[in-house]
Structure 1
Amino acid sequence: MQKISPCLWFRNEAEEAVDFYVSIFPGAKKGSVLRSDDVEVRSSGGVVMVNFELFGQSFQALNGNQEDPFNHAISLSVDCKDQAEVDHYWDKLIGDRGKGIACSWLKDRYGVSWQIVPEILPRLLNDPDKAKAARVMQAMMKMVKIDVAAIEAAARG
């Protein structure tokens, strides 16, 4: 049993957001949906909470009908094996209403922050060759979506 499950607090689009995320990640699962009629509470859109799972990690999506938008103070980081996987998650999460920020960060259409990170990036940033790691850092700082080939070229010098 997972002891901690992140809860994402939406205004009124919790179920819509869960359906969006489940459509992007392989093996993702939409779980139980707690509807306002089931618990006799008023909730925008008729949904109070939706449970879902991404890569075996449990999440909750709550309709809080509040005015506190998501911000960069927390993000969901996706480890990617290669450029194709980076491109897939980046393109799907940005869609037509999201926005690239910087250095692998993006905001999706709901304002949730994500980091789409190829596995090579943290490995090279932690390389014992400090000059190599510095070149990789400098290259990354100029990027929005990570370009694996450019990161590898920076590592080579």
Structure 2
Amino acid sequence: MSTSKILTAVITAAALALPATAAFAGKPKESKQCGGAPCEGEIDIELEILKACELLVGKDIKLAETSYTGSSSFQVTTNTPYTLNLSTLNAGTSADTFVKHATTTDKVFTKITTSKGGVNYPIGSTPVAGMSVDNFAVTVAPKTAVSATQRAGIYKDTLFIKVAY
């Protein structure tokens, strides 16, 4: 008998000598003795998909001198309902937003409008259905006309966008 046939016979004999439970990676879920009758069993299958979120933020908004209005956008992609939290650097979660002069306390009150599909999402927290790609538009404009005597300089604020679930 050749060496390979002997080796095959030894491996086959060893495999047949192993108890049936050695074929399982862990402890079997259940053991049933059927005694000749049909045996039935089950193996549960589970898939867990973790919550995920992607936030793509558009360009910065520069309020052009010709109209003092500007716009941008952002996109939220989630696989779960979420809460959209909007706030600003200068006013927090207050709807009384403003841009502030870089070196003085002068301000220009602004209106920030965030919308999706014709629905406005105010500064603060708002529940969103999610489970989709949500495209939001953001527009900013002064609440009242900018006076011809408004102090010259750069005025700034920041819109913070937070997605929570």
TM > 0.5: no
Higher RCO (Cα < 8 Å, 6 or more apart): 2
Choose 1 or 2 for highest CA Rg.
2
TM-score of the superposed pair, with normalisation by structure 1: 0.21
